[in-house]
């Protein structure tokens, strides 16, 4: 598993460690947070190094590729790193995995590949607005081209995953951090951008369910993973965080900032992004369980 020390990996490892005999985490972070797991090994280097370590890949059956260059501001400010890490380097890793004889790749892609779209399903048009979305789509397509009966692959298009371990440059943890720091909740633009948020515990269960039925899958599978039950605008999200925080003794305010003052800007802002998860429901019997309010409460 690449990026195992990251946000999704830290929620996934406790489940994977019970399902698999041996798990190796490859992460460039300085220290592992999984010292208590007997069947989990930690390797401290960038995932690209695996391309030159075929023996490590050959010792494993499944590659779960979570590692990525993340954050809207980071990616917009560093196009080269975004396209290299999330695009070219990921493709090199997939090629190395196939050459090493691995049988399955699970790849976390992104809903950013759709651009603006409501009720987006896996057959919907793709029109990424960001370098991040372009790189993720490129890696998806490359992985699809490599897939075969002996080298199956799944790309998960994740929709607005959130949780208490997430970095503060993502919208929900950022809003909560602003509340806890007695700062205004900052909403970009008029706040009418539409989103549907999915708690990380629901997302990782979709990955686990996929792993369990992997032998039944086609050579290549695209899957939307998200929560379609509570779409709301970013301004409504800010008001929800404000309301939840009141119960914990905070008195938050909301401040709106023009999109022209953001790194992404108005032209690259995604205004509508809501998933259709019918395929995941049918294939995995997947059903997100965490309400947005309870998910936000877990931050406090």
Q: Domain residues of the chain, as ranges?
A: 7-166+196-229+273-288
Mean pLDDT to the nearest integer, 196-218: 97
Question: Which residues, 6 or more positions from 251, have their beta carbon under 8 angstroms from its beta carbon?
Answer: none
Give me the pLDDT at residue 263, please: 67
CB burial of residue 95 (10 Å; 0-12, 13-18, 19+):
middle
> Crossing angle, helix 90-99 and helix 131-146, to 10 degrees?
10
Q: Which residues contact 73 (CB under 8 A, 6 or more apart)?
A: 169, 263, 264
Query: Helical H runs in the chain?
Result: 7-19, 54-58, 72-77, 79-83, 90-99, 131-146, 171-180, 200-212, 234-246, 265-268, 278-284, 292-297
Give the integer Cα–Cα distance in Å for 185 and 253. Answer: 6
* Dist. CA 145–CA 20, nearest whole Å: 27
Tokens representing 21 are 């005999």
Range of weakest confidence among 12-21, 262-271, 274-283: 262-271
Distance (Å) of CA 204 to CA 156, 164, 222, 237 = 11, 14, 16, 23
Q: Assign domain 7-166+196-229+273-288 to its CATH architecture.
A: 3-Layer(aba) Sandwich (3.40)
3-class DSSP assignment, residue 168: coil
Give residue-wise pLDDT tens across range 160-190. Answer: 999 999 999 899 999 999 999 999 999 999 9
Average pLDDT over the chain, rounded to an integer: 94
Mean pLDDT of 105-132: 95
Position 55 confidence tier, pLDDT thresholds 50, 70, 90 = confident
pLDDT score, position 173:
97
């Amino acid at each position: 598993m690449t990026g195992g020390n990251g946000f999704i990996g830290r929620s996934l490892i406790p489940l994977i460690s019970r399902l698999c005999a041996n798990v190796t985490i490859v992460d460039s972070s300085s220290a592992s947070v999984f010292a208590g797991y007997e069947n989990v090994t930690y390797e401290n280097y960038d995932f690209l190094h695996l391309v030159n370590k075929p023996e490590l890949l050959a010792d494993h059956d499944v590659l779960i590729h979570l590692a990525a260059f993340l954050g809207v501001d980071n990616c917009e400010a560093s196009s080269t790193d975004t396209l290299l890490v999330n695009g070219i380097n990921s493709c090199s890793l997939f090629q190395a995995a196939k050459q090493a004889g691995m049988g399955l790749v699970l790849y976390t892609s992104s809903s950013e590949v759709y651009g603006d779209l409501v009720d987006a399903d896996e057959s919907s048009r793709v029109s990424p607005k960001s370098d991040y979305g372009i790189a993720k789509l490129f890696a998806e397509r490359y992985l699809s081209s490599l897939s075969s009966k002996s080298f199956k692959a799944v790309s998960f298009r994740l929709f607005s995953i959130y949780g208490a371990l997430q970095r503060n440059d993502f919208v929900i943890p950022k809003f909560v951090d602003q509340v806890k720091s007695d700062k205004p909740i900052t909403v970009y633009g008029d706040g009418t951008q539409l989103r549907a948020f999915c708690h990380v515990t629901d997302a990782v269960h979709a990955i686990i369910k996929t792993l369990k039925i992997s032998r039944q899958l086609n050579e290549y599978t695209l899957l939307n993973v998200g929560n379609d039950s509570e779409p709301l605008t970013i301004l409504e999200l800010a008001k929800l965080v404000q309301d939840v925080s009141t119960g914990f003794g905070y008195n938050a305010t909301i401040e709106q900032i023009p999109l022209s003052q953001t790194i992404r800007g108005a032209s690259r802002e995604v205004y509508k992004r809501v998933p259709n998860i019918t395929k995941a429901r049918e294939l995995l019997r997947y059903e997100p369980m965490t309400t947005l309010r309870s998910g936000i409460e877990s931050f406090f």
